[in-house]
Chain A
Amino acid sequence: MTSESLMDDAALQRERIRNKSELVRAGLKKRYAAERRFRLYGLIGTAIGLGFILLLFYTIGSNAIPAFTQTMLRLEIELPAEEIDPQGTKDPEVISNANFRKYTRNALRGHFPEVKSRRDKRKLAALLSPGAAFKLRETVLADPSLIGQRVTLMMPMSDDIDQLNKGVIDTAAADGSGRVSKKQIEWFQSLKERGLVETVFNTTLFTAGDSREPELAGIWGALVGSFFTMLITLLLSFPVAVASAVYLEEFAPKNKWTQLIEININNLAAVPSIVFGLLGLAVFLNFFGLPRSAPLVGGMVLALMTLPTIIIAGRAALKSVPPSIRDAARGLGASPLQVTMHHVLPLAMPGILTGAIIGMARAVGETAPLLMIGMVAFIVDIPGGVTDPATVMPVQIYLWSDAPERAFMERTSAAIAILLVFLIAMNALAVVLRNKFERKW
Chain B
Amino acid sequence: MSLSLILGTLAILTVIGFYLGRSRSLASVGGKPQRLHSRPHYYGYYLAIWCGVPAAIVFGLWMMVEPSVVTGLLIESLPADQRQLDEAQLGLLLNDIRNIAAGGIASREVGPELTQAAAHYNGLLQTSKLALLAVVASLGVAGITIARRLISPDLRARNFVEKVMMLVLVVCSTIAILTTIGIVLSLLFESIRFFQKVSPIDFLFGLEWSPQTALRKDQVGATGLFGAVPLLAGTVLISFIAMCVAAPIGLLAAIYMSEYAAPKVRAWVKPSLEVLAGIPTVVYGFFAALTVAPFLRGTGADFGLEISSESALAAGGVMGIMIIPFVSSLSDDVISAVPQALREGSYGLGATQSETIKRVVIPAALPGIVGSLLLAVSRAIGETMIVVMAAGLAAKLSANPFEAVTTVTVQIVTLLVGDQEFDSAKTLAAFALGLMLFCVTLVLNIIALTVVNKYREQYD
Q: Is A31 an interface residue (CB 8 A)?
A: yes
Q: Is A337 an interface residue (CB 8 A)?
A: yes
Q: Are A247 and B385 touching (Cβ within 8 A)?
A: no
Q: Is B25 an interface residue (CB 8 A)?
A: no
Q: Are B385 and A367 touching (Cβ within 8 A)?
A: yes
Q: Is A419 an interface residue (CB 8 A)?
A: yes
From B169, B328, B375, give the contact of A246 (CB < 8 A).
B169
Q: Are B276 and A49 touching (Cβ within 8 A)?
A: yes
Q: Are A401 and B290 touching (Cβ within 8 A)?
A: yes
Q: Is B383 an interface residue (CB 8 A)?
A: yes
Q: Which size bracket describes the interface of B in this complex? A: 35 or more
- B contact patch SS: helix
Q: Are B282 and A427 touching (Cβ within 8 A)?
A: no
Q: How far is the CA of A423 from the CA of B389 in the complex (A)?
A: 21
Q: Is B157 an interface residue (CB 8 A)?
A: no
Q: Are A423 and B278 touching (Cβ within 8 A)?
A: yes
Q: Which of B211-219, B307-315, B429-437 contacts A (4 or more CB under 8 A)?
A: B429-437
From B158, B280, B385, give the contact of A419 (CB < 8 A).
B280
Q: Is B449 an interface residue (CB 8 A)?
A: yes
Closest to A308 in B: B176
Q: How far is the CA of A364 from the CA of B384 in the complex (A)?
A: 16
Q: Are B176 and A311 touching (Cβ within 8 A)?
A: yes
Q: Are B252 and A244 touching (Cβ within 8 A)?
A: no
- A contact patch SS: helix
Closest to B184 in A: A279
Q: How far is the CA of A144 from the CA of B304 in the complex (A)?
A: 65
Within 8 A of B (CB), among A354-398: 361-362, 364-368, 371-372, 376, 394-395, 397-398
Q: Is A325 an interface residue (CB 8 A)?
A: no
From B172, B272, B354, B441, give the contact of A34 (CB < 8 A).
B354
Q: How far is the CA of A247 from the CA of B177 in the complex (A)?
A: 14
Q: Are B255 and A42 touching (Cβ within 8 A)?
A: yes
Closest to B325 in A: A49
Q: Are A282 and B283 touching (Cβ within 8 A)?
A: no
- B122 to chain A minimum Cβ distance, whole angstroms, is 18
Q: How far is the CA of A416 from the CA of B383 in the complex (A)?
A: 19
Q: Are B283 and A46 touching (Cβ within 8 A)?
A: no
From A34, A60, A307, give the contact of B176 (CB < 8 A).
A307
From A48, A267, A367, give the contact of B280 (CB < 8 A).
A367
Q: How far is the CA of A395 from the CA of B449 in the complex (A)?
A: 32
From B250, B378, B389, give the contact of A398 (CB < 8 A).
B389
In the bound complex, residues from chain B placing their C-beta under 8 Å from that of A46 are: 252-253, 256-257, 261, 269, 273
In the bound complex, residues from chain A placing their C-beta under 8 Å from that of B220 are: none
Closest to B322 in A: A52
Q: How far is the CA of A135 from the CA of B80 in the complex (A)?
A: 53
Known: A52-B276, A335-B158, A413-B286; 5 extra A-B contacts, CB below 8 A, are A46-B261, A248-B173, A271-B382, A397-B280, A398-B285
What are 11 A-B interface contacts by the 8 Å CB criterion?
A: A49-B250, A56-B287, A239-B172, A240-B175, A247-B170, A252-B173, A272-B438, A275-B382, A275-B434, A362-B278, A394-B280
